Amino acid sequence: MNITASASLNVYADITPADALASNLYRIGFSGTTLTIPAAADLVYSRAITCSNGVAKVLEPDVNTLDGEGTPPTNPDGSAVALATVYAMVLQNADGSLSATYASANMGGEAGTLQPGAIVVHHFPSGLSIGATSTLSITGVSGTPVVNVLFIGAE
């Protein structure tokens, strides 16, 4: 599998002063900031997780199993997933009205709330080592939103 990973961040506001004589426009935020994924990245996978209301769905990212499922999904080459290093983890709440929460264990402690339509990016430029005890728990706050999860890493 050959992977060419890229990401850029454009989150900014253009500000025009209220002063009628002002001629300047101010840009505040990030425009075209590049998130670098090392060439060592050799594994990418994603999955859509339908949350449960108030009950965590637990993903084991090292092997891509959800709630201890018997046969985990394979990587794009058809092989078993064996993720050892994470360079980027992206979560997207695909629901337009329901929130979800997420929390990681033994993989940096990332946690937060995914409001409706939210996208959260955790970027680890030096890599984050994970193993058999690493988990990502995702819970529907009220209802059953679908959260899309993407991992870019190395075996």
Q: Is 56 exposed, middle or buried (0-12, 13-18, 19+ CB in 10 A)?
A: middle
| Cα–Cα distance measured from residue 70 to residue 51, given in angstroms and rounded to the nearest whole number | 19
| Pick from 10-14, 105-109, 128-132: least confident | 10-14
| Residue carrying the six token digits 């859509």 | 48
Residue pLDDT, tens place only, 69-92: 877 777 777 888 899 999 999 999
- 14 residue type, one letter: D
- Separation between Cα atoms, residue 50 and residue 34, nearest integer Å: 31
Q: Do 59 and 46 form a contact (C-beta atoms < 8 A)?
A: no
| C-alpha span between 20 and 28 (Å, rounded) | 20
Domain coordinates in residue numbering, the chain: 43-154
| Structural element, H or E, at residue 4 | none
pLDDT tens, residue by residue, 116-151: 999 999 999 999 999 999 999 999 998 999 999 999
CATH number corresponding to 43-154:
2.60.120
Q: Tokens at residue 4, please?
A: 């060419």
